[in-house]
Structures are given as structure tokens and as C-alpha cells.
Amino acid sequence: MVARGNRELRVRLENDILKALQERACSNGSTHLIRDPGKAGGVSLLVRQLIFRELGLEQPPEQLPHKQRHTRPVPTNEQPTRDPLDFLPGVAERLGYYVYMLIDPRDGRPFYVGKGLGARAYSHAREAEGVLAPENQKLSRIQDILRLGLRVQVEIIRHGLSEECAFEVEGAVTDALALSGVLTTNSVSPPGCDRGWRPLEDLMATYSARPVVFEPEHRVVLIRINRQFRATMSPTELYEATRGWWRINPNRRAEYAFSVFGGIVRAVYSIESWSSPNSDKRRAFTGRRDPSMENRYLFADVSAFLRQSAQNPIKYINC
């Protein structure tokens, strides 16, 4: 009964207010305040507000002014949610080829330098998360970091590069770290490392290298280590990179193994024995540096015996 009485009172008030407003509007030409052009025969918002105010009623939500009913979200400075193992959307495309460094958060020291495109810089951490028994120092170190609840820090050294330029920057950064006493876990030298840092005596020996002349009694196997070689390798590392594992023909009976990089002899080993624990017949030699042979052949140019296009890193001389 109360609701019905209010409706009847509202209708009477509406008619009275409309009549009064119409008389006032006709005198000043403001009839647009009375009728709502969006509704045929409907009253304007002003009239509805007067009616509800007179009745002491709250204005219903559907009657709120347009600007109040359709508000746009207020812009915020909040950054979009980011995958910790990826760049923000659109960033990788803008970087192009880049050179990056992986930093150990425990000591703030770099432990890997790489050339990347897309999300390559984060691929190592993703790989480490899915490997139970890592086969290299890089993944082992990343797993140690992750086990502590930490994240590997990624730093971009240069970006917007061509692929060739990125390889050069990668090699230069790796060499600079090595010279400053920072050893990285990079296991493979990038293309162009033959132009990278080497001891000065090595450079002089390389560019003044004499073409080799093998004595016929020297039974030699040349072993190219172009992918494994680094100028900062210790004698032990050079030996391990040279000794195996290779597809060797035991019937050749080589007596000396020459470690070769860039067509230049880097070390000469006297072979004591060969071992072959693998089923694929790959072998590794056990030997020692031979000073007398190095006096004759160290830093000699053997490139005439090695075809650049040859896939086999092994070449036999006099055997």
C-alpha cells in the first residue's frame, strides 16, 4: 500500500512539476530541460531528480547520470606481470641479436657469456630446471643457484647487432673476463676466436710460422681442436682437449700427436697408449709433452696438410 501510494504521489508530482516547468520553459525557450530526447515522451533527468527529492527517495542506480554509470578504469603505473624466465612482451623483438652475461647472485660474478636471439639468455635456466644430472659446469652452477631459491641474473652487454658482430663481441667479452681473472663456464669458443686474444708470443709465432717439413721417420697424427681451443687454456686443458675422443685407426700406429688450432701446431705429445672404452670405437691417447719434437715443430704451419672443408679433425702423416 505504501509503495502504491508513493507511485500515485510521484505521478501527481511529476504532472505538477512538468506543468510548472513547461510554463517556465516556454517563456525562455529551455524546453530541452524537460523532455528526454532519448525516450519518446519521457521526462528529463532534471525532472526525475526533482520528483525523487520531493518524495525523499534515493535515486536508483539506473537513474544515475551517464558519466557516473559508465566510468572508464583509471590508468595505473603498474607493470604487466612478467615471466622471470623471459623478457617482457615485445622486448626480444627490439633487441635483435645481442650478447649477454649470466651473473651468479651469490657473489655477483659473471660465469657465462653468450650470443642470443629471442629468449636465448633465459634458455639455460629453463634447461637446468629440467635436467637431473647436468653434464657441464654451467648447468651445475645454475642448479646450485636455483636450489637456494635464487635466480640467475641476466645482463645484456650489446644489442641490435648482426649475428657476425654478436659473435665478435661475445669472444671479446670472454677474452676480457679471462684476462681479468674471471673464468667462465663457456665450453666452446665462438666463431672468429682465432682473431681473439692470445699471448703476444703466440701471435708472433702464428704470423711468422714456417711451413712444416716432416721428417719421414716421424709417424704423426694431426688433431684439430678448433672448437675446443681457447687462448687461456692451461697445459692440462690443452692435453685433455687433444687426447680424445676420436675415431682413430689403430693400424696407423702413430707415434706423435700434434695439437693443431688454426693450422698451427700448439703442442706435441709422445703417444704411449690408446684406450677405447666406448662401443662406438672412439679412442683417446695417453701421452706426454715431447720437448725435442716441440723444438722442431711447435708453432709450425701445417695448414697445407689440412683442407678447410674437411669434416674429419684427424690427419695422418707418414703412417
Asked if the peptide bond before residue 245 counts as cis, ω within 30 degrees of 0, the response is yes
3-state DSSP percent of the chain in helix, strand and coil, to 5 = 40, 20, 40
Three-state helix/strand/coil letters over the chain? CHHHHHHHHHHHHHHHHHHHHHHHHHHHCCHHHCECCCCCCCECHHHHHHHHHHHCCCCCHHHCCHHHHCCCCCCCCCCCCCCCCCCCCCHHHHHCEEEEEEEECCCCEEEEEEEECCCHHHHHHHHHHCCCCCCCHHHHHHHHHHHCCCCCEEEEEEEEECHHHHHHHHHHHHHHHHHCCCCCCCCCCCCCHHHCCCCHHHHHHHHCCCECCCCCCCCEEEEECCCCCCCCCCHHHHHHHHHCCEECCHHHCCCEEEEEECCEEEEEEEEEEEECCCCCCEEEEEEEECHHHHHHHCCCECHHHCCCCCCCCEEEECC
- Which of 76-85, 256-265, 292-301 bottoms out in mean pLDDT, i.e. has the lowest? 76-85
Q: Is the pLDDT of residue 38 over 50?
A: no
What is the pTM assigned to this prediction? 0.50
pLDDT at 48: 62
**Is 91-190 in CATH node 3.40.1440.10?**
yes
Quote the DSSP letter at residue 58.
Answer: P
Residue 8 in 3-state DSSP? helix
Q: What residue spans define the domains of the chain?
A: 2-69, 91-190, 200-317
* Confidence band, pLDDT 50/70/90 cuts, at residue 24: low
| 122 contacts 58 by C-beta, under 8 angstroms | no
Mean pLDDT of the chain, nearest integer:
81
Share of the chain above pLDDT 90, in %: 47
Q: Is the pLDDT of residue 302 over 50?
A: yes
SS3 of residue 266 by DSSP: strand
Give per-residue pLDDT as tens, 108-165.
999 999 999 999 999 999 999 888 778 788 999 999 999 999 999 999 999 999 999 9
pLDDT tens across 47-88, in order?
Answer: 566 655 655 655 554 444 544 544 555 566 666 666 788 899
Long-range pairs of 176-180 with CB within 8 A, sequence gap ≥ 24: 177/110, 177/113, 178/230, 178/231, 178/232
